[in-house]
Amino acid sequence: MTRMNRVGLPVVAFAAVFFVACSHGPLKVDAIQLGRALNSDKSIATHVTRFKPDQTVYVAVLTDGPGTGEIAARWTFGGRVISEEKKSVSYTQGAATEFHINYAGGFPPGDYKVELLVDGKPAETRGFHIEPQD
């Protein structure tokens, strides 16, 4: 065996194993959670769909297994987009990706929606309600 073969083959083998180990398929959405508080792993601690105007609204996208992609949250009120955020993620195991919205002056009462997209494709939409201030 030549010196090149002795050095080259292990390098090629290492590169192939590294590439396979580091490549992830697309994200697989397991669940969507909506609420007013987060756990330390970014999943939702307090699941609710009704909020007060001064509360922060959280949504968590739980993914199953390894995956790489872009997750987006599009928040709407009265059919108009009021906020949108995108996050590029790469996970080696199931994980939670968190988004939130708040409004310093308090949200106007009414029905809202958050649409979740994975790699630009709709994954799920959740509705929630802002109660009038007491």
CA-to-CA distance for 66 and 25, rounded, in angstroms? 7
Cβ neighbours of residue 28 closer than 8 Å, sequence gap 6 or more: 63, 64, 65, 67
* pLDDT tens per residue, range 36-63: 999 999 999 999 999 999 999 999 999 9
Report phi then psi at 68, rounded to 5. -135, 140
- Rounded CA-CA distance 64/38 in Å is 19
What's the chain's length in residues?
134
Quickly state the pLDDT bin for 108 (edges 50, 70, 90).
very high
Task: Indicate the pTM of the whole model.
Answer: 0.81
Q: Are 114 and 95 in contact (CB under 8 A)?
A: no
Boundaries of every domain in the chain: 24-130
Say which CATH architecture domain 24-130 belongs to.
Answer: Distorted Sandwich (2.70)
